[in-house]
Amino acid sequence: MTRLIALDVGDARIGVAVSDSMRFLASPYTTLYVDRGNEAKLWAEIQRCIDETEAGGLVIGLPISLDGQIHAQGERVQAFAERLRQHMRRKGHEIDAMAATVILQEYLDALGRNIEETTL
C-alpha cells in the first residue's frame, strides 16, 4: 500500500495530512499558504508534498453544512479539486484512480463489517 495525502482547503491556507504506508494512522504534515495570484506555485507545493511522502492517492475534504447541503465554501472546494485534477492529469499522476480505489476499499470494508455483524 502507499500513503495517502489529505487536503483541508481554505481560502487562505490548506492543511495537509499524510497517512502511514499501511493507511492506519493520519498525521499532520504541513500547512500551505494560498497565493491567489499564483496558483501554479500552489500546484507545485502540492506536488512537492506528494513527491516527498510518495503518496499514491489524494483526498480532499468537502465541507457540507449541517442541513446536508453544499454551500459556497463547498462549491469553492469542488472547483479547486477540479482544477487540481486537471493539473494532475497533465502531470501524469493517477490520482483519480487511486482515490476511486480508496473509496471502493472503504465500501468493501464497511460491507464486510456489516456481513460479520449480521452473521454473528
Domains of the chain, by residue range, sit at 3-119
Q: What is the mean pLDDT of residues 34-44?
A: 90
Tens of pLDDT along 2-35? 898 889 999 999 999 998 888 888 899 999 999 8
Determine contact, residues 57/67, Cβ cutoff 8 Å: no
What share of the chain has pLDDT > 90, as a percent?
Answer: 29
Res 53 pLDDT > 90: yes
| Cα dihedral 82→75→44→93 (10° resolution) | -30
Q: Which residue has the cell 480508496?
A: 102
Higher pLDDT, 53 or 62: 53
Helix (H, G, I), strand (E, B) or coil at 14: strand
Q: CATH class for domain 3-119?
A: alpha beta
Q: Are strands 26-33 and 13-19 parallel, antiparallel or unpaired?
A: antiparallel
Residue 120: predicted pLDDT:
52
